[in-house]
Structure 1
Amino acid sequence: MILGTAGHIDHGKTTLVKVLTGVDTDRLPEEKRRGITIDLGFAPLVIDGAGTIGIVDVPGHEAFIRTMLAGASGIDIALLVIAADESVMPQTREHLDILSLLGVEQLIVAITKSDLVADEWMALVLDDVEMLLAPTSFRASRTVPVSARTGEGIAELRRAISDAAVRIPSRGHDNDLFRMPIDRVFTIRGTGTVATGTIWSGSVSRDAALILRPGDRAVRVRGVQTHGAAVVTANAGERAAVALAGCELADVARGSVLVGDSAWIGTSEIEAEIELAADSPRVSSRTRLRFHLGTADVGCRLAGARTIGGTEMAARARVRIVFDEPLVSRGGDRFVLRYPSPPSTIGGGRVVDPYPPKRRRLEPVEEGVPVPGSGSATDARLAGLLAAAAVAGIQLPTLPVRLGIPESGVASAARAIGAITVDGRIYATEVV
Structure 2
Amino acid sequence: MHVLATAGHVDHGKSTLVRALTGIEPDRWAEEHRRGLTIDLGYAWTTLPSGEEVAFVDVPGHERFIGNMLAGLGPAPAVVFVVAADEGWRTQSAEHLAAVDALGLSHGLLVVTRSDLADPGPALADAGERLARTSLGQVPAVAVSARTGEGLDALREHLDDLVAGLPTPDPGARVRLWVDRAFSIKGAGTVVTGTLEQGTLRVGDEVEVGGRRLRIRGLQSLERPQEAVAAVARVAVNLRDVTPEDVPRGTPLLTPSAWHPTTTLDVRTSTDPAELPGTVTLHLGTVAVEARLRPLAGDAARLTLPHPLPLVAGDRAILREPGGHRLLVGALVLDADPPALRRRGDGRRRGEALTAYTGVPDLPTEVGRRGAMRRSHAAALGLDPSTAHPSAAHPSATHPDVVVEGEWLLDRSALRGWATALGDAVRARAQAEALDPSLPVEAARAQAGIPDVALVPLAASTAGLEVRGGRVWLPGVAGSLGEAEEGLRAIEARLEQDPFAAPERPELEAAGLGPRQLAAAQRLGRVLRLPDDVVLLPSGPAQAMRRLAALPQPFTASDARRALGTTRRVVIPLLEHLDGRGWTRRVDGTLREVVRR
Normalized against structure 1, the TM-score is what? 0.84
Greater shift in the superposed pair: 361-370 or 347-356: 361-370
Q: Given the alignment of the two structures, is residue 183 of structure 1 paired with residue 173 of structure 2, yes or no?
A: no
Q: 1:143 aligns with which of 141, 144, 162?
A: 141
DSSP-derived class of the 1:363 partner: helix
Q: What's the counterpart of residue 322 of structure 1?
A: 304
Q: What's the counterpart of residue 302 of structure 1?
A: 293
Q: What's the counterpart of residue 351 of structure 2?
A: 363
The alpha carbon displacement at 1:415 in A equals 2.2
Alpha-carbon distance in 1 for matches of 2:215, 2:194? 16
Superposed counterparts of 1:334-373, under 5 Å:
334-340=316-322, 342-360=324-342, 361=347, 362-364=350-352, 365-367=354-356, 369=358
Unpaired runs of at least 5, structure 2:
380-386, 404-410, 420-449, 453-597
Q: What's the counterpart of residue 62 of structure 2?
A: 61
Q: What's the counterpart of residue 315 of structure 2?
A: 333
Q: What's the counterpart of residue 373 of structure 1?
A: none
Work out which of the two has the higher radius of gyration on C-alpha atoms and give 1 or 2. 2
Q: Given the alignment of the two structures, is residue 99 of structure 1 paired with residue 100 of structure 2, yes or no?
A: yes
DSSP-derived class of the 1:140 partner: coil
Q: 2:131 aligns with which of 133, 139, 144?
A: 133
The alpha carbon displacement at 1:190 in A equals 1.0
Measured against aligned partners, the alpha-carbon deviations of 1:133-189 in whole angstroms (never above 9, x if no partner) come to: 242243421111110111011011111110111111201222x21111101111111
Alpha-carbon distance in 2 for matches of 1:36, 1:79? 19
Shift of the 249–357 alpha-carbon distance from structure 1 to 2, 3 Å rule, reads same
Q: What's the counterpart of residue 17 of structure 2?
A: 16
Measured against aligned partners, the alpha-carbon deviations of 1:1-51 in whole angstroms (never above 9, x if no partner) come to: 211100000000000000000000111011111110001011112112251
Q: 2:282 aligns with which of 284, 291, 296?
A: 291
Q: What's the counterpart of residue 79 of structure 2?
A: 78
The structure with the largest helix share of the pair is 2
- Determine if contact 1:288/1:301 at 8 Å carries over to the other structure: yes
Superposed counterparts of 1:2-401, under 5 Å:
2-49=3-50, 51-117=52-118, 119=119, 122-174=120-172, 176-212=173-209, 215-276=210-271, 282-283=275-276, 287-303=278-294, 306=296, 317-340=299-322, 342-360=324-342, 361=347, 362-364=350-352, 365-367=354-356, 369=358, 384=366, 387=369, 390=370, 393-394=372-373
Alpha-carbon distance in 2 for matches of 1:339, 1:281? 14
- Determine if contact 1:269/1:323 at 8 Å carries over to the other structure: yes
Alpha-carbon distance in 2 for matches of 1:88, 1:395? 44
The alpha carbon displacement at 1:271 in A equals 2.0
Name the % identity: 33
Q: Which amino acid aligns with 1:293?
A: L
Shift of the 382–44 alpha-carbon distance from structure 1 to 2, 3 Å rule, reads farther
- Determine if contact 1:94/1:345 at 8 Å carries over to the other structure: yes
- Determine if contact 2:319/2:328 at 8 Å carries over to the other structure: yes
The alpha carbon displacement at 1:383 in A equals 6.0
Count of matched residue pairs: 397
- Determine if contact 1:382/1:403 at 8 Å carries over to the other structure: no
Shift of the 83–243 alpha-carbon distance from structure 1 to 2, 3 Å rule, reads same
Q: What's the counterpart of residue 409 of structure 1?
A: 394
The alpha carbon displacement at 1:385 in A equals 6.4
Alpha-carbon distance in 2 for matches of 1:347, 1:407? 26
Q: Which amino acid aligns with 1:53?
A: V
Shift of the 334–383 alpha-carbon distance from structure 1 to 2, 3 Å rule, reads farther
Greater shift in the superposed pair: 92-101 or 267-276: 267-276
Measured against aligned partners, the alpha-carbon deviations of 1:106-129 in whole angstroms (never above 9, x if no partner) come to: 111111111011x4xx33223322
Alpha-carbon distance in 2 for matches of 1:20, 1:243? 28
Greater shift in the superposed pair: 232-241 or 262-271: 262-271
Shift of the 325–381 alpha-carbon distance from structure 1 to 2, 3 Å rule, reads farther
- Determine if contact 1:267/1:328 at 8 Å carries over to the other structure: yes
Q: Relative contact order: is structure 1 or structure 2 higher (C-alpha 8 Å, sep ≥ 6)?
A: 1
DSSP-derived class of the 1:115 partner: coil
Structure 1 moving runs of 4+ over 6 Å: none
- Determine if contact 1:382/1:413 at 8 Å carries over to the other structure: no
Q: Which amino acid aligns with 1:156?
A: A
Shift of the 386–426 alpha-carbon distance from structure 1 to 2, 3 Å rule, reads farther
Q: Which amino acid aligns with 1:404?
A: H
Measured against aligned partners, the alpha-carbon deviations of 1:75-114 in whole angstroms (never above 9, x if no partner) come to: 1221111111110001111111111221211111111111
The alpha carbon displacement at 1:409 in A equals 1.8
DSSP-derived class of the 2:400 partner: helix
Greater shift in the superposed pair: 23-32 or 94-103: 94-103
What is the aligned-residue RMSD (CA, Å)?
2.9
Q: What's the counterpart of residue 311 of structure 1?
A: none
Alpha-carbon distance in 1 for matches of 2:139, 2:121? 17
Normalized against structure 2, the TM-score is what? 0.62
The alpha carbon displacement at 1:248 in A equals 1.4
Measured against aligned partners, the alpha-carbon deviations of 1:180-201 in whole angstroms (never above 9, x if no partner) come to: 1101111111110001101122
Measured against aligned partners, the alpha-carbon deviations of 1:382-430 in whole angstroms (never above 9, x if no partner) come to: 865665xx36x4589x999x94325972544652669222337589xxx
DSSP-derived class of the 2:134 partner: coil
Shift of the 383–260 alpha-carbon distance from structure 1 to 2, 3 Å rule, reads farther
- Determine if contact 1:383/1:417 at 8 Å carries over to the other structure: no
Alpha-carbon distance in 1 for matches of 2:374, 2:40? 40
- Determine if contact 1:394/1:426 at 8 Å carries over to the other structure: no
Q: Which amino acid aligns with 2:25?
A: D
DSSP-derived class of the 1:114 partner: coil
Shift of the 67–190 alpha-carbon distance from structure 1 to 2, 3 Å rule, reads same
DSSP-derived class of the 2:355 partner: coil
